[in-house]
Amino acid sequence: QLSKRLATAASYINKGARLADIGSDHAYLPCHLAQKSRISFGIAGEVVMGPFASAKKQIQASQVEEVVEARLGDGLQVIEKTDQIDTITICGMGGDLIARILDDGSKKNKLDSVKRLILQPNNAELKLRRWLINHDYVIIDETILEENDKIYEILVAEPGVNPLSYSFEDYLFGRILRTEKSTIFVKKWKKELDKYDYILQRLAESNRDTRDKKSEVERMMMIIKEEIS
Ligand code: SAM
């Protein structure tokens, strides 16, 4: 059984997809989908030896060796042209790292056959949205969910031309998420406000010159308050 977070990411994978799950760790996602015959091919990519070994074990234990392959390597380097990967999932990493992986991969033409990206950054969603929009991906869906007291965002993107320009608020909050303004969305940004409030208190106690930092934090707090009020 997949976690709610991974099950939500999985719900965006089309039946019969040729999937690369990058940073797969135990390879739960591709193994589960292969068992349910929802993918026709899967790569579980890992850069660290320990998780790579776990992925191999899980593939064997799930008896999906015919469909899923564990590969050791950095980011999208595990993808070969002949794999004809059409879907990539990158879940459970920082948004900065996900953007770096996509950037390296796109420079090495690893995204050429890819029709859909399903990304679950643990933070820095703004930077990831910026990378996507700047590289001609359309964010076709976004979702926000809560599991074990943690709030996660999932972004789904496809290659295409963005008809509208993105505002700073669209990058920060997500254009789709801010239109929906769900209870979890409001909860997330209230928590962020608390974090900024704490930073302000720390800055007030500092004996260095913190005026620039303080006004930056206050600006962010104003933007957030306006969004959720
Ligand atoms: N994707 C799984 C999930 O969401 O439950 C596992 C997430 S785990 C927190 C992050 C995994 O990404 C780790 O196993 C780590 O080794 C792997 N990772 C980190 N940087 C990577 C990179 N550049 N290329 C491939 N895997 C990477």
User: Structural domain boundaries of the chain?
Assistant: 4-162, 185-228
ipTM confidence? 0.99
DSSP-derived letter for residue 165 is P
Q: pLDDT value at position 165?
A: 87
**Lowest-pLDDT choice from 112-126, 132-146, 152-166, 174-188:** 152-166
pLDDT band at 164 (very low <50, low <70, confident <90, very high): confident
Name the CATH superfamily housing domain 4-162. Vaccinia Virus protein VP39 (3.40.50.150)
197 Cβ contact list (under 8 Å, min separation 6): 221
Per residue in 67-121, pLDDT tens?
A: 999 999 999 999 999 999 999 999 999 999 999 999 999 999 999 999 999 999 9
DSSP collapsed to 3 states, 26-56: CCHHHHHHHHCCCEEEEEEEECCHHHHHHHH
> Which among 46, 58, 76, 79 is the best mutation to test ligand 1's pocket, defined by most ligand atoms within 8 Å of the CB?
46
> Which among 93, 148, 153, 155 is the best mutation to test ligand 1's pocket, defined by most ligand atoms within 8 Å of the CB?
93
Whether residue 163 is predicted with pLDDT greater than 90 in this model: the reply is no
Q: Are 15 and 85 in contact (CB under 8 A)?
A: no
The alpha carbon of 20 and the centre of ligand 1 are apart by a number of angstroms equal to: 12
Percentage of the chain beyond pLDDT 90 is 96
Mean pLDDT of the chain: 97
